[in-house]
Chains A and B, each alone.
Chain A
Amino acid sequence: MRLLDEENIDDIAVGAAILGSGGGSNPYIGKLMAREAIRRYGPVELYALGELADDDLIVPSAGMGAPVVAVEKLPAGDDIVRAFQALGKYTGRAPRATMSVESGGMNSIRPIYLAARLGIPVVDCDGMGRAFPEIQMTVLTAYGISASPFAMSDERGNMLLIDAVSNRWVETFARSCVTRMGAIGAIALYSATVKQLKAAAIHGTTTLAEKIGRTVREARLKEKNPVDAIRLAVDGFLVFRGKISDVDRRVSEGFAKGGARMTGSGAFAGQALQLDFQNEHLVLCVDGDYVATTPDLIAVLDSETGAPITTEALRYGMRVAVIAFPCAPQWREPAALALVCPRYFGYDIDYVPVEERFAS
């Protein structure tokens, strides 16, 4: 166990944006919430799964809805407390701690706010190891952990409980209800015991986000290029350096879809890269060959500052470095891959782990 304080939160926010893989919401609001709660209630305990009892109940917490709305209708704070407590009531057991469902963007940090408010620990693990757009897209789904019972609350005190036959159905019902709640909902879901999570969850992701953020901060302090430091911190591969030469963007069914083309520079001169995205980065091709695909992580970074660039911010002329790094091993099991593999997103190719692509 260790304590998370204000500086840790800043680092986690930076790391979470990189783990967002082009998506997730801006962690700014989440960072402020956690910082204010820590100032008021004190630091938050972060536990590794191994430090908890096998039959402890963990209830993950998150937010869902439109990031654009989240910067205007700021959270009440009570909403997430209410959803979390309602789930405990429904399952008939008091939760021991909370954790992240997603370790990209704002949802990496929101559980820390909740933990500070309630004086409970946060567990150093999550269900994605990155960001994905839908509720069922977790390794927890593949390991048979149900997103139901699912609780969603708004600032008014409305509480919605969903007990659905599959995690996909939870997504369907919750997505249509969140619009009526004003496009933002605080949710609690995927309740599980520590024993279940030891097998299913992705371990150490809060610490990983923090390590990435600290790496960026220290590299900047020493006036070193943060890109290499980030690549080392995530055990990744530098896929490309160059300039964005074209961005094509469209929105359909609530998803921001599109692609960006880049032309290489330096060691990558003469190469052309194509990046496709749907809220998050999906696949990367260099000169027509696939070099990295979902669920492995793809981060597009400003080539000088190392700042991650989200799919919404990609723009012609930006000088970027593209890093790909392995997803959590759980994603590579068939049941998990089926949820987020290239074929799920309409690409007629098999998933090949990024490190294998680079080994050859």
Chain B
Amino acid sequence: MRIGIDVGGTNTDAVLMDGTTVVSSTKTPTTANVSEGIATALRDVIADSGINAATIDGVMIGTTHFTNAVVERKHLTPTACIRLGLPATVCLPPMVDWPLDLRDLVGGNAHLAHGGHEFDGREISAFEPDEIREIAEKIKAAGLKAIAISSVFSPVNATFEEQSAEIVRSVIPDANITLSSEIGRIGLLERENAAIMNSCLRQLAARTVDGFKAALDELRITSPFYISQNDGTLMNADFAKEYPVLTFASGPTNSMRGAAFLSGLKDAIVVDVGGTTTDIGVLQHGFPRVAALAVEIGGVRTNFRMPDTYSIGLGGGSLIDPHPKSLPHREGGTSLTLDSPSLLVGEGAGGWGEVKVGPRSVGYELTEKALVFGGDVLTATDVIVASASADIGDRDAVSDLDAGLVTAVEARIMEMIAIAVDRMKTSATPVPVIVVGGGSILVTGEIEGASEIIKPDHFPVANAIGAAIAQVGGECDRIFSLAELSRDEALDQAKQEASDRAVNAGAAAASVDIVDVEEVPLAYLPGNATRIMVKAVGDLVGA
């Protein structure tokens, strides 16, 4: 049996799964000490099912802890950066575009050295071991042990980064070194940023992962545990201590993977309705489609393969505004209440055609502020209860709502979702839409362009399920020159590299599958250079 846990900003969700069956699930508030929240969730989910802790084969944890550390500027270790690429890259040194407060915190200790490669694998300049040794001595003198090493086009050829790491270790034996080629893609500043953030998060990662281990020990769970990565695959505890940045944005990914699992579909649109926002993503071959653009974490640009999600301000706590045109723009805080007579029966003569839903929301205060929970704010949830599509809280509290308003709100919600879904589709062909998340009750009708709408069981904890069922993966992202290789040879080579990496990360070789291949020929160049990105995934050994 497996346990999946998703530590979100508000709730920590846990599920216990026996093969493909959800045995029990729980939602508890996230605590300041993440391990305590996890221990509570684990205790609940195990007690709920009455199983013996010894029968648990694996615990999979998705966490936003490391993202939050960067966003909140907490627990970051000062880190030096060595970049190989001289004489290129001089005018934009490492951390050049970081927010100043974060750069100060991390130390801004940056060094440029010779080395680096061209897009076609030639050297920009020769590697100079003595130069690296001198830099290492300076870093040692500054008392730093956390170090990131980047080299131009290291996704094409990583040898200079590896050789530099060896030299740095000979000077600083207990150095904590991240190579940019281990974690990022083409785009030097973004990849280097990720490598620096990784090194500055490693101390926190070691403490946090040890805390998870202690929580498991306390409950006598002796199985291995894993942490979710942003691409929907897992890393083991030791790997997570080494590569904490790979957890960034794992939440939306887990939710989409959970939706795929619960529905049995591999190609679909996922609509995740929360309390304040609805995130729409696309499943391709069972994995989230990734965003093409750079993503900022705490003000720092990175080029992680984040899920391509589109968010709209619609959720269970969204405020309803029946006459947005007749009321001037209201500043945040004020909202319509039951005292506003226009919401009651008979006031809808002018029609509800302009009714507005969201983006303002009562958020996590839904269970205090919504009408059906005894509050005085009209929310999307109240309207859905009034329409008899859902039965939550006190239905009598909304029995006086105008039927025309209820119909108009339901129609507006479905229209908002339909437009967002269409935006994320890749063609006009109808596709299945999977609806998950705590706010799923908002979806009451048909969605234009959807071949079917699926609301699977256990939809509120899809994210924890996504963590529980995750596989392990490997990637290859390189520029190949098709002057020396045929296109097929280049593709085969890229697929082999990705598969090898998946196996190294813990996948059973026989189960490894290529799930994504992308080719981008380089524009404005007459040659035949093409960038190939391949992703492979497989089942965990022994799972």
Interface residues of A (CB under 8 A from B): 29, 32-33, 36-37, 64-69, 71-78, 113, 133, 155-157, 175-176, 179, 182-183, 243, 245-246, 251, 253-256, 279, 312-313, 315-319
Chain B 122-138 interface residues, beta-carbon cutoff 8 Å to A: 122, 124-125
B524 touches A76 (CB 8 A): no
B118 touches A73 (CB 8 A): yes
- Specify which chain A residues have a CB less than 8 angstroms from the CB of B424 in the assembled complex: 317
Per a CB cutoff under 8 Å, which of B189, B428, B520 touches A74?
B189
Sample of 10 A–B contacts (CB below 8 Å): A71-B186, A71-B187, A72-B186, A73-B89, A73-B124, A75-B89, A76-B87, A176-B526, A279-B523, A316-B426
Q: Kindly supply a per-residue 1/0 record for chain B positions 411-426, scoring 1 wherever the CB is within 8 Å of any chain A CB and 0 otherwise.
A: 0000000010011111
CA distance A176 to B479 in the complex (A): 19
- Specify which chain B residues have a CB less than 8 angstroms from the CB of A319 in the assembled complex: 419, 423
In the complex, whether B527 has a CB less than 8 A from a CB of chain A is yes
| CB-nearest residue of chain B to A74 | B89
B119 touches A183 (CB 8 A): yes
- Specify which chain A residues have a CB less than 8 angstroms from the CB of B423 in the assembled complex: 243, 317-319
B292 touches A313 (CB 8 A): yes
| CB-nearest residue of chain A to B310 | A317
A155 touches B88 (CB 8 A): yes
Q: How far is the CB of A89 from chain B (nearest CB, A)?
A: 21
A68 touches B523 (CB 8 A): yes
Most chain B beta-carbon neighbours within 10 Å: one of A37, A66, A155: A155
Per a CB cutoff under 8 Å, which of B125, B524, B527 touches A156?
B125
| CB-nearest residue of chain A to B186 | A72
B118 touches A183 (CB 8 A): yes
B524 touches A279 (CB 8 A): yes
CB < 8 Å A-B pair total: 130
- Contacts A183-B119, A251-B523, A256-B523 given; indicate if A78 touches B92 (C-beta within 8 A): no
- Contacts A68-B523, A279-B524 given; indicate if A75 touches B422 (C-beta within 8 A): no
- Specify which chain B residues have a CB less than 8 angstroms from the CB of A77 in the assembled complex: 90-91
In the complex, whether B474 has a CB less than 8 A from a CB of chain A is no
Per a CB cutoff under 8 Å, which of A68, A75, A316 touches B425?
A316
- Specify which chain B residues have a CB less than 8 angstroms from the CB of A71 in the assembled complex: 186-189
- Specify which chain B residues have a CB less than 8 angstroms from the CB of A313 in the assembled complex: 292
A36 touches B91 (CB 8 A): yes
CA distance A73 to B191 in the complex (A): 12
A72 touches B525 (CB 8 A): no
- Specify which chain B residues have a CB less than 8 angstroms from the CB of A246 in the assembled complex: 427-428
- Specify which chain B residues have a CB less than 8 angstroms from the CB of A32 in the assembled complex: 92, 96-97
| CB-nearest residue of chain A to B427 | A316
Chain B 274-309 interface residues, beta-carbon cutoff 8 Å to A: 292
Q: How far is the CB of B71 from chain A (nearest CB, A)?
A: 22
B118 touches A74 (CB 8 A): no
- Specify which chain A residues have a CB less than 8 angstroms from the CB of B541 in the assembled complex: none
In the complex, whether B85 has a CB less than 8 A from a CB of chain A is yes
In the complex, whether B140 has a CB less than 8 A from a CB of chain A is no
CA distance A243 to B448 in the complex (A): 15
A72 touches B91 (CB 8 A): no
Chain B 84-132 interface residues, beta-carbon cutoff 8 Å to A: 85, 87-92, 96-97, 116, 118-120, 122, 124-125
CA distance A315 to B422 in the complex (A): 12
- Specify which chain A residues have a CB less than 8 angstroms from the CB of B458 in the assembled complex: none
B122 touches A182 (CB 8 A): yes
Per a CB cutoff under 8 Å, which of B187, B419, B523 touches A66?
B523
B526 touches A254 (CB 8 A): yes
In the complex, whether B521 has a CB less than 8 A from a CB of chain A is yes
CA distance A256 to B520 in the complex (A): 10
- Contacts A32-B97, A182-B118, A317-B425 given; indicate if A72 touches B90 (C-beta within 8 A): no
B526 touches A175 (CB 8 A): yes
Q: How far is the CB of A126 from chain B (nearest CB, A)?
A: 19
A76 touches B116 (CB 8 A): no
CA distance A29 to B423 in the complex (A): 29
A183 touches B188 (CB 8 A): no
- Specify which chain A residues have a CB less than 8 angstroms from the CB of B124 in the assembled complex: 73, 155-156, 182
In the complex, whether B153 has a CB less than 8 A from a CB of chain A is yes
Having A73-B152, A179-B526, one finds 15 other A-B pairs with CB under 8 Å, namely A64-B524, A69-B119, A74-B85, A74-B188, A76-B90, A78-B87, A155-B89, A179-B527, A182-B120, A182-B122, A183-B525, A243-B423, A253-B526, A256-B523, A279-B524
